Amino acid sequence: MPRPVCCRRIGMSPGFSCFGPHGGGRCHEDDVLLSVDELEAIRLADLEGMYQEQAAEEMGVSRQTFGRIVESARKKVAQALVNGRNLRIEGGNVEMCCTRHFECHECKHDWDLPHGTGRPTECPECKSANIHRAASDRGSARAGGPGPGPCGRRGRGFGCARASQ
């Protein structure tokens, strides 16, 4: 029996749910379905230019899992483009990650940034480069992070909701 799919963090909700060739009309049952987490993988890898390891960390999955997600997503996008089919975005087991919490190890200042804005290079207070994600935001058991989240993983302070199927 395969393992259940855990929630995958996404930084934004899709603004549109269906794309298609000009004059293609409405979405149909033969549309190519792209899950919300596959769209997020394309956003992180192709739009933001993140390396797979960094993008996997953002989504809360392993690098290998991220690789499978982005490979599947790229294949579906290519299938829709080459075959002139609509691309419909829906479904997936995702959790919205609204902000990330950082702390400066020099002046102890802490702050939140919206997800998807990139990693800060310096502390806004003292301009030190010695900044890190807050231990509670990383989900590290060694760092005293919170217990298991809704998917059984540690440190997820976000609600997990299965997107509409």
Indicate the domain borders of the chain. Answer: 8-96, 99-138
Q: Which fold has domain 99-138?
A: Rubrerythrin, domain 2 (2.20.28)
For residue 43, the 8-state DSSP code is I
How far is Cα 63 from Cα 65, in angstroms, rounded to an integer? 5
Tokens of 74: 């790229």
Q: What is the pLDDT of residues 78-120, one digit of tens each?
A: 999 998 889 988 877 666 666 678 889 999 888 877 666 678 8
For residue 148, the 8-state DSSP code is B
Phi (first) and psi of residue 83, to 5 degrees:
-95, 5
Confidence band, pLDDT 50/70/90 cuts, at residue 28: confident
Interhelix angle 52-59/63-83, rounded to 10 degrees, is 100
How far is Cα 139 from Cα 125, in angstroms, rounded to an integer? 25
Note the pLDDT of residue 163: 42
How far is Cα 135 from Cα 145, in angstroms, rounded to an integer? 6
How far is Cα 23 from Cα 42, in angstroms, rounded to an integer? 25
Which residues are bridge partners to 93 per DSSP? 162
* CATH class held by domain 8-96: mainly alpha
